[in-house]
Amino acid sequence: MVLTKTKKYTYIKPTQKLVKDFLEEFKMRYSEFKKEHLIVDFSENFNIKIEELILFLKVSVQHKKNGTSFVLVYDGIDVDEIPDELSVVPTLTEAIDILEMDAIERDLGF
């Protein structure tokens, strides 16, 4: 896993071939970035199933409770099949847009 921290968010790029292997390392290192806005970029991984993305639902819900954002980047998934509590977008640019929209919602008290 490669971490890149910016002023606004932490960008995580999995280096593992399997989502389950990445999730294992992610959970082990979660305390390093649990209070930060996170973008996890799966854009270079192919054949990820919806079930694998949904494994991150609990993390997403916890982030929202903590007042931070969690966004997955992956193209080729029908977003209508993804739970509303999980943000999945096709590009990094859209992930950054989601972070900004979440910040506005928090500022407005939503």
Alpha-carbon distances of 3 from 6, 8, 38, 107, 110, rounded to whole Å = 10, 14, 10, 27, 29
Comparison of pLDDT for 37 and 77, the residue scoring more: 37
Q: Compute the distance between CA of residue 45 and CA of residue 98 in angstroms, rounded to an integer.
A: 21
Q: Is residue 48 a contact partner of residue 75, using CB atoms and an 8 Å limit?
A: no
Q: Supply the pLDDT for residue 35.
A: 92
Q: Which tens digits make up the pLDDT trace of 16-28?
A: 989 999 999 999 9
Q: Supply the pLDDT for residue 79.
A: 82
| Beta strands 2-5; 10-13: pairing state | antiparallel
Give all domains of the chain, ordered by start, each with its CATH number: 2-108 (3.30.750.24)
Quote the Cα angle for 69-45-2, to 5°. Answer: 60
Q: Is residue 40 a contact partner of residue 72, using CB atoms and an 8 Å limit?
A: yes
3-state secondary structure of 25: helix
Q: Which tens digits make up the pLDDT trace of 20-76?
A: 999 999 999 999 998 999 999 998 877 888 999 999 999 999 998 999 999 999 998
3-state secondary structure of 66: coil
Cross-strand pairs, 2 = 13
Q: Supply the pLDDT for residue 108.
A: 87
